[in-house]
Structure 1
Amino acid sequence: MKTRHWTQSSLHRYIYRGMLSVVLVLLSLSGAKAQIIRDAVSWTRTVEDNGPTEKTIVFTATIKDGWHLYATDLPAGGPTPTQLIVDKLGGAELVGTLTANTKPVEKFDPNFDMKLRFFSGKVVFRQKIRITDAKKFAFEGAIRHMACNDEKCLPPSNWEFTVQVKELGKLSEVAPATSTETPAPQEATPTVGEPSADSATSAPDTLSVDQGMAKDAVSDLWAPVIPELKAYGDKALTQADGSLWMLLVGGFLGGLVALVTPCVWPMIPMTVSFFLKRSKDRKKGIRDAILYGISIIVIYVALGLAVSAAFGASALNDLATNAYFNIAFFLLLVFFAISFFGAFELVLPASWTNKMDEKADSASGIVSIFFMAFTLSLVSFSCTGPIIGTLLVQAATSSSGILAPAIGMLGFALALALPFTLFAIFPNLLQSMPKSGGWLNSVKVVLAFIELALALKFLSVADLAYGWRILDREVFLALWIVIFTLLGLYLIGKIRFPHDTPQEKTPIPMLFLAIASFAFALYMVPGLVGAPLRAISAFSPPLSTQDLNLYKGEVHAQFSDYETGMAYAKQVGKPVIIDFSGYGCVNCRKMEASVWTDANVKATLDNDYVLITLMVDEKTALPETIEVEEAGKKVKLRTIGDKWSYLQRMKFGANAQPFYVLLDNEGKPLASSYAYNEDVPAYMDFLKSGLAEYSARKK
């Protein structure tokens, strides 16, 4: 048996490669998000034979993990419910309505800011029919449905079906004298892209459009331009999910905060000195310290994996919209904040830490080091517990999948383990460490204020779910203004808590933090009268909950019809920006509130472009059903939303919203497309690139 002798450099290389592999494997498991998602809901159909004249059409929906399918009865102003569309029904009549086999879950849906009913996993819908004349039987139609996850919604879509008479089983030999027949709608298939009947009312009265010009141009306007977009290096069409990287960074920052708490900071020099002194061999001391850091990482990553295993992927996705969970976590954060303020101390049972100490003393080698790391985790819980709890919940309620808690804990543990390894390798750095003192308690108090502010976000979700209206936007902002004003007063020494040391002079770092806190509080004041407050739009309740709104800086589309808007742009010689949006698209509202309200963006959209907003979930019926072929299947476009959703998929190769694309007057792209990103300078660069390309083509 060969014994491997580790050198310091080989050990470092091995650990580096191992940790890099863990990070890359975990991140790669998240996969890439293709913009066109076709398998969120898959359908199958069978026929149940209930008798010679009574039949049941059974529709089975299999819903992809993390997504949900809306129920058949929903309140007005919400998403499209699951419904049966009948194109042709002869020799039979419907009995009752489309009915699910299970009761839908009723929860607050952040995509629509209302309580809605939906299904997850698998659900079966049944529609009974009565045969009135077997010889004339014909049944064609579709199941119209809409699917969402916690991040976005897909446009309403139709699953087409045709029931053949041979599927009905045993039929009555004598047909009734009377028959019921629902005539099929006219199956004329006008050219896709022909201006719809509502075109004349789509544009404001001040905009005059030559309808003849619109009809002449439609064939080229619908031509696919996916290769052209990819030639621009379009990232929106096949973008990787970067949210796991953000969780890793967020966890790392949380770990850095945990380092400077009173429970962890004093342990660094003590633990490193112990490792260096327990062995006369400095290399062995460094090795032990590195193994100690790795043990910390293993413990916290295991905690993240345990959370994922305990809840499962579906449950993790449901947490973000669960009102009871949000109320519970609001109370938990308030509890943590009170503890950080100094009202009481959070400690785990002493028997737990004593048991770990005994294990560390009785064990040897790597096992001993692992139990020492476990002891650190337990002893520091009073300070790290609130940070870990917040991080785990944020990871669990993100849309990044089942690995999110583990990724968050990996970042946290890396930051926590890093100083033990660095100070062991470079022990001279220990002398330059700031000494423990009252500043460590100040860190806890600052965290307490931040915990209170975050707690209000979770209470806001529950408030919206139940419609209490106790935490409307102006109330939320008023509380945040008070919290960050008090934080600023604390930082300059005007407010003291039980465990704080007397402060005669304000330290320079505290002064700058206080300035930032006061400035943030002042920044939120205009929000009380309706200012969009782009920096916190993801935290505050929607602007629709605000009673007083004096802000008039919104951008409004000039057209809601593609062909009419394109024809007008050609007349006036301007480029076009197509805004694929939806009534239930929360990220669309965020872009409108945080990006379009910027003065430069608004001026560019109003003056230099023709803005066409196309709602992919518009329920208004088309004058005539349009039948097209997509992915080898015939698809019927019945509503205006169907038409715009098909345009986005067919011409631009995407079906997620918001989706922005810049076009010239022939329908060709001027730049790569733009998806959800609240970076105003990036959006301005996007608009400017289109204007520059349009000018170059005109020359």
Structure 2
Amino acid sequence: MRYLLLLLGTFLFTVTLQGQSEKDPALWSHEVKKISEIEYELVFKGKIHEGWHVYSQYTAEGGSLPSEFTFEKVGEDYELIGKTEESETIKEYSDIFEVEETFFKKEAIFTQRIKLLKPDIKQISVNLFYQICKEVCIPKDELFQISLDGNAFVASEQKLDERSKILSGALKLDLKNKELLNQGELEGAKDKSNLWMIFGLGFLGGLIALLTPCVFPMIPLTVSFFTKQSQQKSKGIINAILYGFFIVLIYFLLSLPFHVFDSVDSQILNTIATNIWLNVLFFVIFVFFAFSFFGYYELTLPSSWANKMDAASSKVGGGLGIFFMALTLAIVSFSCTGPILGGLLGSTTLAEGNVAANLSAGMVGFGFALALPFALFALFPTWLNSLPKSGGWMTTVKVVLGFLELALAFKFLSNADLVGNWGIFKREIFLGIWIILFVLTTLYLFGVFRFPHDGPKQKPSSTRKLVGLLSGAFSIYLILGLLNFTSLKLLSGFPPPDFYSITETESDCPLGLDCFKDFEEGVAYAQEVNKPILLDFTGWACVNCRKMEENVWSDPKIYALLKDEYVLISLYVDDRKELPDSEKFNFQYDSGRIKAIETIGQKWGTFQTINFNAASQPYYVLLSPNMEILNDAVQYVDIDVYEEWLKSGLEEYHLSMNK
């Protein structure tokens, strides 16, 4: 197992360092202390973000990578006096590498004395290679360019043109009361509940996967293998539980690369989730998955993979052998679990919060549901007798999943349409497609038509009829929503917004409200009418933005406040419409990295990050027209919290006006 994890770690190292975030998990600085005319003390300090740790130069071999300094031109311009000293470290035994590792938390300080060999040397360069870890480990390099005489070490920089400097400066706000921008308990509590919801969706997906023909027949066979092979009953139970644990572990490991991407740049996953062509690719993949469930072809991983894993399980035996057995199950069941996992991946990109954390929660939930019966039936083998027999009902499950895959596929195509402003999949067209899909599901369940892999025609069972009735009822619900007899609040966030309609609407803003989609225009209007500003960072493909608009903003109390008391400025951070050439520019972050601002979404996404230190949507800020923050920012909250938040901001605005 140790070697398997080492291989996984090596893989993560190779995919991690693809870029540098504006929020590095460690921030470095250096100092120079003059001891004499030819001796100096160099001090390197690293401020390490909460939860992260950096490894010592002297951490044990065979474990994580140590920090390593490279002093350029040492022995030519200067020499080192003694070893590089370190501040206080922490020692902890690693179960993975089976060694005691040494590392820093919160702060790392390295000190090195040097002696000049050439008295006229005034500048030296030092490179630090280090590994910083949290859930994953990231190898990084830090270049220190050190001046010994107190003058700045001028490095070559990419220069901005004057127009870029002016437009970059306009993007930064002079905010007052910025300390109020602490999302605090509201966001934290929502994140936790969101993770449990995603875990529940993953668990439900795992339960559905159990009912497919790729997994269901494996349950009694595998449990019997463990209980009959072991000489002691307790040993068989332990092996079955270990088998289940490894199933959960395997699906969790599949989510780790997404944590790598998220740690490198907080906006990467958001950018990926709202990318037009990636959403189109998701659409194609989900259609491909759906037709495999309909029985037109079999979707499998290479059989050699399963054969190799099966051979490895027989060869190594013990706990590692059981791990390879679990991996074999994951591979051979891919034709049924792959499309469900694809749906889980798609759902996490549509959910609020940290995409990587959501995906891990969903994967763990999926693996837990998949592993649960193997452990339970090993503990209570007589329950195996109560399992239904394999049969045509499993094919029915796959077909229904196929229709659900198609429904989700069109959600991704709708995202691409919204973000790209194509104007093709308006709300009515989207709902019409969903109505057709669920009507077809209903007809299939009642036996009106069949698919190639269906068995002999039989009278639909009572369970099949019940599911058919539910599908029919949902079709009627969609039809009523299409005809505007109901608001479709149960589907908030999935159909395009109300104002994205074939019929002409009075406003292209949510719920027909008046809104501005340019910050400067909105501020100018707020100054004219002397009203506070509700700054709404949103997205065309943001599900929870739609939920807030359709479930919270639509409440009469909230709607009245938004309409009468605030100036609404809605900035779409995923809008891929190109800016006019005169408005395109390059923006330089404090780290020195330069980013090309070419689309509306890039402009407002960067605007949100540099002014409010946030990258997720929805994100709401209350401002006075003179850029005074009125209270803390909120995200996805309920009606009562949002109403109180709006009223408190309004009170603060009136108080500030009377001062």
Q: Please tell me the TM-score bracket, short chain as reference.
A: 0.5 to 0.7
Report what 2:551 is aligned to.
595
Q: Establish whether residue 281 from structure 1 lines up as the match of residue 237 from structure 2.
A: no
In 2, distance between residues paired with 1:447 and 1:349?
23
- Give 1:126's aligned amino acid: L
Give CA deviations for 1:127-147 in whole Å, capped at 9, x if unaligned.
359xxxxxxxxxxx985559x
Report what 2:432 is aligned to.
478
Report what 1:489 is aligned to.
443
Q: Establish whether residue 612 from structure 1 lines up as the match of residue 566 from structure 2.
A: yes
* Deviation of 1:242 (Å): 5.0
* Deviation of 1:250 (Å): 2.6
- Give 1:336's aligned amino acid: F
Report what 2:87 is aligned to.
none
Shift in CA distance, 239/316, structure 1 to aligned 2, threshold 3 Å: closer
Shift in CA distance, 690/510, structure 1 to aligned 2, threshold 3 Å: farther
- Give 2:211's aligned amino acid: V
1:493 and 1:506 in contact (8 A); partners too: yes
2:295 and 2:453 in contact (8 A); partners too: yes
Report what 2:378 is aligned to.
424
Aligned with residue 252 of structure 1, among 183, 197, 203: 203
Q: Secondary structure of the residue that 1:453 maps to in structure 2? A: helix
Shift in CA distance, 657/451, structure 1 to aligned 2, threshold 3 Å: closer
- Give 2:173's aligned amino acid: N
Q: Secondary structure of the residue that 2:449 maps to in structure 1? A: coil
* Deviation of 1:439 (Å): 1.1
Shift in CA distance, 333/608, structure 1 to aligned 2, threshold 3 Å: closer
* Deviation of 1:275 (Å): 0.8
Aligned with residue 304 of structure 1, among 243, 255, 276: 255
Shift in CA distance, 533/246, structure 1 to aligned 2, threshold 3 Å: same
In 1, distance between residues paired with 2:189 and 2:223?
47
* Deviation of 1:383 (Å): 0.7
Shift in CA distance, 240/337, structure 1 to aligned 2, threshold 3 Å: closer
2:497 and 2:546 in contact (8 A); partners too: no
* Deviation of 1:536 (Å): 2.7
Q: Pairwise mapping of residues 162-177 of structure 1 onto structure 2 (< 5 A)?
A: none
* Deviation of 1:685 (Å): 9.6
Report what 2:274 is aligned to.
321
* Deviation of 1:441 (Å): 1.0
* Deviation of 1:613 (Å): 3.3
In 1, distance between residues paired with 2:227 and 2:188?
53
Q: Pairwise mapping of residues 553-632 of structure 1 onto structure 2 (< 5 A)?
A: 554=512, 579-581=534-536, 590=546, 593-595=549-551, 598=554, 601-602=555-556, 605-606=559-560, 611-615=565-569
Q: Pairwise mapping of residues 99-498 of structure 1 onto structure 2 (< 5 A)?
A: 126-128=160-162, 145=168, 157-158=172-173, 235=186, 240=191, 243-306=194-257, 313-314=264-265, 315-395=268-348, 400-498=354-452
Range that drifts further, 606-615 or 326-335? 606-615
Give CA deviations for 1:168-211 in whole Å, capped at 9, x if unaligned.
xxxxxxxxxxxxxxxxxxxxxxxx9xxxxxxxxxxxxxxxxxxx
- Give 1:590's aligned amino acid: R
2:294 and 2:398 in contact (8 A); partners too: yes
Q: Secondary structure of the residue that 1:495 maps to in structure 2? A: coil
Shift in CA distance, 527/675, structure 1 to aligned 2, threshold 3 Å: farther
* Deviation of 1:270 (Å): 1.2
In 1, distance between residues paired with 2:540 and 2:337?
36
1:524 and 1:533 in contact (8 A); partners too: yes
Shift in CA distance, 581/488, structure 1 to aligned 2, threshold 3 Å: same
Shift in CA distance, 327/368, structure 1 to aligned 2, threshold 3 Å: same
- Give 2:381's aligned amino acid: P
In 2, distance between residues paired with 1:532 and 1:125?
53
In 2, distance between residues paired with 1:586 and 1:457?
9
In 1, distance between residues paired with 2:168 and 2:281?
33
- Give 1:252's aligned amino acid: F
Aligned CA RMSD, in angstroms, stands at 5.2
Shift in CA distance, 223/379, structure 1 to aligned 2, threshold 3 Å: closer
1:261 and 1:444 in contact (8 A); partners too: yes
* Deviation of 1:583 (Å): 8.2
In 1, distance between residues paired with 2:179 and 2:250?
50
Aligned with residue 548 of structure 1, among 503, 508, 518: 503
* Deviation of 1:359 (Å): 2.3
1:555 and 1:602 in contact (8 A); partners too: no
* Deviation of 1:518 (Å): 2.0
* Deviation of 1:515 (Å): 2.6
1:554 and 1:596 in contact (8 A); partners too: no
In 1, distance between residues paired with 2:647 and 2:457?
53
In 2, distance between residues paired with 1:303 and 1:607?
45
Shift in CA distance, 690/489, structure 1 to aligned 2, threshold 3 Å: farther
1:555 and 1:597 in contact (8 A); partners too: no
Shift in CA distance, 606/471, structure 1 to aligned 2, threshold 3 Å: closer
Based on CA coordinates, which of the two structures has the bigger radius of gyration?
1
Q: Pairwise mapping of residues 51-62 of structure 1 onto structure 2 (< 5 A)?
A: none
1:304 and 1:407 in contact (8 A); partners too: no
* Deviation of 1:253 (Å): 2.1
Q: Establish whether residue 508 from structure 1 lines up as the match of residue 462 from structure 2.
A: yes
Give CA deviations for 1:287-306 in whole Å, capped at 9, x if unaligned.
10011112212222222225
Which structure exhibits the higher relative contact order, with contacts defined as CA atoms closer than 8 Å and separated by 6 or more residues?
A: 1
Q: Secondary structure of the residue that 1:264 maps to in structure 2? A: coil
* Deviation of 1:362 (Å): 2.6
In 2, distance between residues paired with 1:312 and 1:389?
23
- Give 1:341's aligned amino acid: F
Shift in CA distance, 365/591, structure 1 to aligned 2, threshold 3 Å: closer
Give CA deviations for 1:296-344 in whole Å, capped at 9, x if unaligned.
1222222222565589855544321322322222111111111101112
Shift in CA distance, 547/391, structure 1 to aligned 2, threshold 3 Å: same
1:565 and 1:610 in contact (8 A); partners too: no
Shift in CA distance, 658/464, structure 1 to aligned 2, threshold 3 Å: closer
Shift in CA distance, 495/359, structure 1 to aligned 2, threshold 3 Å: same
* Deviation of 1:454 (Å): 0.8
In 2, distance between residues paired with 1:676 and 1:382?
38
In 2, distance between residues paired with 1:350 and 1:237?
44
Give CA deviations for 1:141-174 in whole Å, capped at 9, x if unaligned.
985559xxxxxxxx95337xxxxxxxxxxxxxxx
Q: Secondary structure of the residue that 1:615 maps to in structure 2? A: strand
Shift in CA distance, 264/616, structure 1 to aligned 2, threshold 3 Å: closer
1:144 and 1:157 in contact (8 A); partners too: no
The alignment-based identity, stated in percent, is 39
Give CA deviations for 1:46-84 in whole Å, capped at 9, x if unaligned.
xxxxxxxxxxxxxxxxxx9xxxxxxxxxxxxxxxxxxxx
Shift in CA distance, 517/310, structure 1 to aligned 2, threshold 3 Å: same
In 1, distance between residues paired with 2:468 and 2:460?
10
